[in-house]
Structure 1
Amino acid sequence: MSKGFASQSDLAEKRETFAEIGPGLYALTAEGDPNSGVVVGDDSVLVIDARATPRMAGDLVARVREVTDKPIRHVLLTHYHAVRVLGVAGYADRVNVIASDVARAMIVERGQADMESEIQRFPRLFRGKEEIPGLTWPTLTFHGEMTLWLGTREVRIIHAGRGHTAGDTVAWLPRERVLYSGDLVEYGATPYCGDAHYQDWPATLDRLEALRPEALVPGRGEALTSPEQIRDGLEGTRAFLRDLFAIARAGVAAGHDLKAVYDRAMSEMRPKYGHWVIFEHCMPFDVSRAYDEAKGLDAPRIWTAERDLEMWRALEG
C-alpha cells in the first residue's frame, strides 16, 4: 500500500476543553476528537462515552475529580464503536455500563472486528491500548427508552433510531434541556458513516430536533450552546448525508463502480466539507457504505482490519 490511512498521520495531540454547559453538566471536547459528557447528580455521576482506553478514561476521571468527589456509578455507551467504549476498565468505581439492546447485539456481532479495525486506523486515539483488557460489555441494556434518576436529576436515555449506527443512543435532560447526541450530530467534523443508515439518519435527527434542546454536545466538535449553533450542527450533519447519498444513488443508477463514485464524491464534497476534521479519513468509508446502501444492502458490512486495507488500496492506494 503506497498511502496509509489518513488518520495514521494525524499524530498531533489535541487541546482538550472541559466545559460546564449547565449546572453540573460538562462536555469534554478536543478539537474534533471524540467527545465525552459528564452529568453530576445528587449523589453520583454519569459519564457519557467511556473513551478509547483505560488510560484515556483516567484522564477524564481526573477532570471529574476537579469538580466533584461523588462516585462515578454509571457509564452510558452511545453506540458500540471501540473509540467510545474500550476505556470502561479505567473507572475505579464499580459502574453500571448502559447501552441499548441493539448496541449490545452489535458488540456481539462485530465488536472484536471493530476494535482491531479502529486501533489500526487511529493509533493516536488509542493511547495505552496495551492496557485494554478486551471488549466492553454492557451490564444494563434497554429497549427504546429508559430513565436514569441521579437523585432528583432525570436523565432520559433514548435509542433515537438508526443513523451513525443501528444502535445510537442519546442522553436527554428534559428539565435542563441539554442533549448529549453521540455521533448522531457532528459540528465542524465529518460524520463517519461506515456503519451508517443514510436513509434513516435524517428522520432520527428530526426526532432530536423535536426535543428543542438549548444546549447540545455533539459526537465531535465544540459544545453547542446557542440556537444558531444547534441549528448549524443538525443541518450540517443532514446536508452532508443528503449530498453524499445523492451522489451514491446517482452513481449506482448509472452503473458506475465504487471507484468512480468515490472520485466524483471527493470532487463534489471537498469544496463544501473538506475543511471539516477527519474528512480525508472518513470519506473512503463513507462512500463505501453509501454505495452499498444505494445498491440495496440494508445492513452495513462488517469492517475488519483486512477489509479496511483492501478498500483503502482500491480507493486511495
Structure 2
Amino acid sequence: MSASARRDPAAAPDTARLVEVRPGTQAWVQPDGSWWINNAGAVVGDGAVLVVDTCATAERTSRFLSAVDRATDGAPVRLAVNTHQHGDHTYGNSLLPTATVLLGHEAMREGLRVDPVIDGCPPFWAPVPDWGPVQRRLPDVAVTAATTVHVGGRAVQLRHPGGPAHTTGDLIAWLPDERVLFAGDLVFAGLTPLVFMGSVPGALAAVDWLAALDPEVVVPGHGPVLTGGDVDRVLDEHRRYYRLVLALGEQGLAAGRTPLETARDADLGEFGAWADAERLVLNLHRVYADRGGRAFDLMAALGDAVAWLGGPMATSV
C-alpha cells in the first residue's frame, strides 16, 4: 500500500472553521484531522480569552487566532494551554501574544524543549511539512497534576490522566459547568489513535477516566466535535482499538515477531478504513518497548510505519 503525496483540497487551511459548542466556547475544527491537522479551541469570559492549543504551521495558527479575534471582538488572549507536546498542537505557540500566559504539563514542556522536529521535519511524511516562521515557545507555567484557571467568571479545569496515555504530559481542558471537554489527543474521532509516545494501557485507562466526567460535548484532538450518543460510541471505539493493539502485541511477542511483521499480518477489521492506519505499527512499537523494558526507538518506529505503508505517510498540512 502507498500513501498519496498530494495534498487533499478538502483539508486545505481555509476549510477550518470555528464552531460554537456552547455560548462563549468555540472549537476550531480543521478537516480532515489526519497527520499534523489538529483541532484547537477558545473559551471567552468577561472580555478575555483562553486558547486551547495552537496549530502546526504559522499559516494555520494565524487563521485560527484571526478567527478567534473576529468572534470575540478583539478580546485579549490572556491564557493558553497546550494539551500535549506534539507539534500540531504547539508549534504555533510563538504566534500567541507576548503577554499571553501559556500553561502545559511539566512533561509536555520538557518534550517540546528537546523536540528537534520543529527545526525541520524528517522525510517520513509527504509532502514534508513546512512550519513557516514559528519558534519554540514553551509554557510559562508547568502543571503537574491539576489546576483550575479562570476566564472571567468561567472555570476551566486542567487535568492530567495520572500517567502516560497519548503522551506522558497530556492535559485536558474541562469546563464542568458547561460539560464541555477539550480532550486533546486522548480522543481521535473517526481516525486511528496514536499512542507511540505514551502507553497503550494508559490510553485505554484514560478512556474510562474521560467517560467518568460524563461530558456532553467533546472536542477531540482530531476529527469532528462529538455530542450525544457519538461521545460513547467514539470512546467505545477507542477501547476496542487499544485492546486489539494489546492483543496483537502479545501475539507478536509470543511468536518472536517484530512490530512490523506483526502489523503486516494484522487484521484491522472495523478499523481498517480509518485514516492513518499505519499508526498501528507505531503503537505496536510502544507495546514492544514497554513489555521489553527498553527505550522506545522513535526513528525505527517511523521507519517501520513507512515500510508498512509502502511510502511516506500522507499529510495535507
TM-score, L = length of structure 2: 0.86
Instruction: Tell me the equivalent position of 2:105.
Output: 100
C-alpha displacement of 1:121: 3.9
Instruction: Tell me the equivalent position of 1:66.
Output: 70
Native 8 Å contact 2:285 2:301 kept in 1: no
How many angstroms apart in 2 are the aligned matches of 1:200 and 1:309? Answer: 21
Native 8 Å contact 2:124 2:303 kept in 1: no
Give the partner amino acid of 1:288.
H
Give the partner amino acid of 1:19.
V
C-alpha displacement of 1:89: 1.6
How many angstroms apart in 2 are the aligned matches of 1:124 and 1:147? Answer: 40
C-alpha displacement of 1:151: 1.3
**More deviation in 195-204 or 142-151?**
195-204
Instruction: Tell me the equivalent position of 1:131.
Output: 133
Native 8 Å contact 1:163 1:201 kept in 2: yes
Tell me the number of residue pairs that the alignment of Structure 1 and Structure 2 aligns. 301
Residue correspondence of structure 1 range 1-317 to structure 2 within 5 A: 6=3, 8-14=5-11, 15-29=15-29, 30-32=31-33, 33-68=37-72, 69-92=74-97, 94-108=99-113, 110-112=114-116, 114-115=117-118, 120-122=123-125, 126=129, 129-133=131-135, 135-161=136-162, 162-226=164-228, 228-265=229-266, 268-269=267-268, 271-280=269-278, 282-297=279-294, 300-301=296-297, 303-304=298-299, 307=300, 310-312=303-305, 314-317=307-310
How many angstroms apart in 1 are the aligned matches of 2:281 and 2:6? Answer: 16
Closer, same or farther in 2 for the Cα pair 1:209/1:125, shift >3 Å?
Answer: farther
Closer, same or farther in 2 for the Cα pair 1:107/1:12, shift >3 Å?
Answer: same
Closer, same or farther in 2 for the Cα pair 1:41/1:7, shift >3 Å?
Answer: farther
C-alpha displacement of 1:229: 0.7
Native 8 Å contact 1:16 1:31 kept in 2: no
Native 8 Å contact 1:8 1:121 kept in 2: no
Give the partner amino acid of 1:274.
G
C-alpha displacement of 1:9: 4.3
Could you say what secondary structure the match of 1:235 adopts? helix
How many angstroms apart in 2 are the aligned matches of 1:239 and 1:118? Answer: 32
Aligned-pair Cα RMSD in Å: 2.4
* Identity, % of aligned positions: 29
1:156-177 CA-partner distances (Å, limit 9, x unpaired)? 0011232111111000011111
Higher relative contact order (CA 8 A, sep 6+): 2
Q: Where does the alignment leave 5 or more consecutive residues of structure 2 unmatched?
A: 311-317
Give the partner amino acid of 1:311.
D
Native 8 Å contact 1:252 1:295 kept in 2: no
C-alpha displacement of 1:13: 4.5
Q: Which has the higher helix share?
A: 1
C-alpha displacement of 1:137: 1.0
Could you say what secondary structure the match of 2:188 adopts? coil
Give the partner amino acid of 2:25.
L
How many angstroms apart in 2 are the aligned matches of 1:124 and 1:176? Answer: 40
Closer, same or farther in 2 for the Cα pair 1:40/1:93, shift >3 Å?
Answer: farther
C-alpha displacement of 1:201: 1.5
Native 8 Å contact 1:198 1:241 kept in 2: yes
How many angstroms apart in 1 are the aligned matches of 2:133 and 2:10? Answer: 20
C-alpha displacement of 1:262: 1.5
Native 8 Å contact 1:54 1:91 kept in 2: no
C-alpha displacement of 1:190: 0.7
Closer, same or farther in 2 for the Cα pair 1:220/1:125, shift >3 Å?
Answer: farther
